[in-house]
Amino acid sequence: MFKAGTYKNHHYKKEYQYESFSPSLINKKFEWSDKKITVSLEEAIKLLGELNSHSNLIPDIKFFIKMHVAKEATSSSKIEGTKTEIDETVMPKEKIAAEKRDDWEEVHNYIEAMWYTVETLKKLPLCIRLIKDAHKILLSGVRGQEKQPGNIRKSQNWIGGSNLKDAFFVPPHHEELPTLLSDLEHFWHNETLNIPVLIKTALTHYQFETIHPFLDGNGRMGRLLISLQLINHNILSLPMLYISDFFEKHRSSYYDSLNMVRTSNDIEQWIKFFLTAITETSKKGIITFKSISELRKRYEEIIAGLGRRRKIGKKLLFFLFSNPTIDVRTVSNELNIAFNTSNSIIQEFAKKDIITPKTTHSRNRSYVMKEYLDLFKK
């Protein structure tokens, strides 16, 4: 039977005492009794395989993955309270209203941290060092930057409430973190346990969120870690699973399910919730990829009729799949073409309804590939 951990008493400034939760070590064998988990696991793996197949079926897949990462970053950050929407995430910073730029920067830090870790995994195994480096990027120059980015906390933190006394949850004392994190890292690489990757990933997310190793940014790092584990085990070749979208839409159930493990040792209900999230997100991702393929085919047929502008049109189309919000100057710089040429091809795209004006003023007007962006807003 899974034993989540125990509560420990601490004295704080001799004024009052509080209880922190000390999770059990996780690097050990794990078996489940609920047969629904086995069935859900089979379906989740099958759908992840189908989702990943699109990385081989779609030419130039990296043009399209950028939007999947943007979607994941937007949803994960929204869980923590940011107000940025996906259409704002893909806009350049200078076009974001001043009062929204802090949120925008937090989302883009998440995107940068994701790409950094994915690239680093090619030369460094998944480890706490990599998580710390990603955390440093995550909190660089944004709210929380004063909370020791990239460093494991050396003081007590808490979740909910205004202090340790009325907190909703108090993670383990900081003196326990070296042992807990070392145990978690060994768990990632212990192949003798014979635990399926998705079960390991579910257990990891629960354990990481319970440990809460940083002073800030733990939720985002824990969700980013899900993609890293799937990529590390070659289940996904790229970060195409935006699982935070499911967590954000079922936020209360997400938090309740994690907390239920600590209060009743019921890890199996969390695993079932996690596998449902994987399954539903994979289904959604597959539909999105199929819709992208259909949209791309239709747009390429339109561009084929552009005559001598066909070559530039194709370059612009691929740029739009990575950056669905554009303006004349940006296209001129990115495609290395004259300003007038950029304006001309953009107007041609607008006439063909590939893009539509986003702003009404004519000076440096923005355009958006709305049909494409809408695929990530459903």
pLDDT 10s digits, 262-272: 999 999 999 99
The full set of domain ranges for the chain reads: 36-288, 295-374
Q: How far is it, in rounded angstroms, from Cα 261 to Cα 231?
A: 26
pLDDT digits (tens, 9 = 90+) for 327-367: 999 999 999 999 999 999 999 999 999 999 986 666 678 99
Q: What is the mean pLDDT of the chain?
A: 92
DSSP type of residue 265: -
- Averaged pLDDT, 183-212: 97
Give 246-282 pLDDT, tens digit per residue: 999 999 999 999 999 999 999 999 999 999 999 999 9
pLDDT > 80? residue 56: no
Do residues 7 and 19 lie in contact, with contact meaning Cβ atoms separated by under 8 Å?
Answer: yes
Residues ≥6 apart with Cβ < 8 Å to 316: 331, 335, 345, 346, 349
The string of pLDDT tens digits covering residues 171-182 is 999 999 999 999
Cα dihedral sign for 206, 151, 73, 197? negative
pLDDT(14) > 70: no
| pLDDT number for residue 15 | 67
Determine how many CB atoms are found less than 10 A away from the CB of residue 144. 19
| 260, two tokens | 């239920």
Task: Please state, for a pLDDT cut of 70, what percent of the chain lies above it.
Answer: 97
Q: What is the H or E stretch that residue 17 is in?
A: strand 16-23
Q: What is the pLDDT of residue 362?
A: 62
Check if the beta carbon of residue 222 is closer than 8 Å to that of residue 210: no
pLDDT tens for each residue of 290-332: 999 999 999 999 999 988 899 999 999 999 999 999 999 999 9
Per CATH, the number for 36-288 is 1.10.3290.10
Which pLDDT score is estimated for 146?
A: 75
Of the pLDDT bands very low, low, confident and very high (cuts 50, 70, 90), residue 142 is confident
Integer CA distances (angstroms), 199 to 224, 271, 273, 278, 360, in order: 16, 7, 11, 11, 50
Instruction: Classify strands 366-368 and 356-357 as parallel, antiparallel or unpaired.
Output: antiparallel
How much is the average pLDDT of 3-26? 87
Strand 325-327 to 356-357 pairing: unpaired
**pTM recorded for the entire structure:** 0.94
CATH architecture of the domain with range 295-374? Orthogonal Bundle (1.10)
Neighbour-count burial for 30-61, b at 16+ CB within 10 Å, e otherwise = bebeeeebeebbeebbebbeebbebbeebeeb
Query: Given a cut of 90, is residue 214 above it in pLDDT?
Result: yes
pLDDT confidence of residue 336: 94
Least confident of 31-45, 156-170, 204-218, 350-364: 350-364
> Taking residues 51-65, what's their average pLDDT?
83
Q: What pLDDT score was predicted for residue 360? A: 63
Residue 90 burial (CB count, 10 A): 22
**Tokens 């996906």 correspond to what residue?**
86
For tokens 């084929």, the residue is 304
Mean pLDDT of 27-36: 96
In 10 A of CB 14, how many CB atoms?
Answer: 6
User: Which residues contact residue 298 at a Cβ distance below 8 angstroms, ignoring those fewer than 6 apart?
Assistant: none
Average pLDDT over residues 80-89: 89
